[in-house]
Structure 1
């Protein structure tokens, strides 16, 4: 997912997919195994800003039209596991499920050789970032209600779009496919907060939970496995005493806002993912 400015800043993802494919054609990461290792595990990462590491490090553009965070995340930790080689990281902030499918199509050769694929998708199909902006303290209560109602109505469409993308990726690879869910953005037991009121936060968390259920259902009929992260992030949302979510109170337009911070990626997303990665069964 991403903030309100995402459509303007992070568009052109179809062109980005082509650019990335051409970049890899000229210099893909080496897949040569360490002599001490018995096998190499080829790893491909796809998805939106939660897979692109927004909230950790600084914003970089690894190829034209795509933006990622360059700090430590679950992706860097997975890539550091024994034998694992990250052959392609095509996650881009702002990507919809359809745009993730476009990127996957551009990375067909990498997916064909992959043993492990991780991705997050679906949040930008609501779009959740615009809903957060409308429901913030700077937004309009009336528009917020309209956006929340629209989000509930769009969940079936989100599920269909996510399923179509997962079915496509499933047809491209025999890899283990891990679909990462989203954490609840807000911890509500501390009352109102700078971004939203406690009641609005609860309403948005309910939409967030429904989104996760839709994504889980979208894996049906595919080999993809849904990886929930609600447990690890419990009581670590925005306004928590120990928040694992990035939120810059001095800049509501900060594109890292409402994304996991480095701790969230390392203590939330990575352990959840690692529990589903069986290295002895990959490669």
Structure 2
């Protein structure tokens, strides 16, 4: 009964949430001209102090990489959000001239984590963790969207290059969320799911990573690099209990009007250790 109730809760709460010369740089260079763009994984939404309209944390990986990071990463961002994020980054610096004072124009390194929202990851979680008859359709829709991700990523890289002509651009992938090591995985206190149902979701994430990497290659820019993070997270998916660097499902309470459970947006996102893992993966890329 508890298992069925837990699955029903997941189904309910997930509906609610939503040709430049190579740059030579040392670790210290992260403190000079670094701009971060992207979605909730770059904003640090899974860390306890995340706040504001973008659910951003002071312990997100951009802030770990540089004490002077300019981060405009925002929860819910898609590839369509990139134009607004570029404008927001440039607005953070007074323009001494038409271009000279713009943050991105002066940037020496840029990071981008983007794509999860493009491919309907939330819809897959909602449909397949419940589970529901729509799991197959949601997975197929996400796989179709992933097939178009190389073009979206290539376009994003080219757009960033126009805005940041001098920067080394690092584009990240995503970790496997679950990484099961036993027959069942505890995705929330008192709620275990068969690992066999989670393995395809991790494979979907790996497919997205391959698509993002292909997009970076297709952009044809020698000063842009794809940074894989799966090795950094190996053995630290949310199924790994105390060793997890991914948050489990976190239920905040019950909506007093609808009586529906309310999920924390931190659910299924990297925690503070996960953000450190992102920083560790990115830091040597320069």
Report the TM-score, using the length of structure 2 for normalisation: 0.76
Task: Tell me the residue number matched to 1:180.
Answer: 172
Q: Is the 8 A contact 1:238 1:246 kept in 2?
A: yes
Of residues 257, 266, 274, the one that matches 2:267 is 257
Q: Is the 8 A contact 2:72 2:88 kept in 1?
A: no
Unmatched 5+ stretches in structure 1: 8-36, 278-283
Q: Is 1:226 matched up with 2:217? A: no
Deviations for 1:15-73, whole angstroms, at most 9, x for unmatched residues? Answer: xxxxxxxxxxxxxxxxxxxxxx9996111111000000111123322xxxx41332423
CA distance in 1, matches of 2:29, 2:16: 46
Task: Tell me the residue number matched to 2:104.
Answer: 111
Task: Tell me the residue number matched to 1:94.
Answer: 76
Deviations for 1:173-232, whole angstroms, at most 9, x for unmatched residues? Answer: 111111111000012222222444312211011110010000011112133211111001
State the SS of the aligned residue for 1:46. Answer: strand
Q: Is the 8 A contact 2:112 2:171 kept in 1?
A: yes
- Matched ranges for 1:122-271 at <5 A: 122-136=115-129, 138-140=130-132, 142-173=133-164, 174-195=166-187, 196-220=193-217, 221-222=220-221, 223-241=223-241, 242-251=243-252, 253-266=263-276, 268-271=277-280
CA distance in 1, matches of 2:168, 2:43: 19
1:170–1:106 Cα change, 3 Å: same
Task: Tell me the residue number matched to 1:16.
Answer: none
Q: Is the 8 A contact 1:50 1:259 kept in 2?
A: yes
* TM-fit CA distance, 1:102: 2.9
1:101–1:162 Cα change, 3 Å: farther
State the SS of the aligned residue for 1:275. Answer: helix
Of structures 1 and 2, the larger Rg is shown by 2
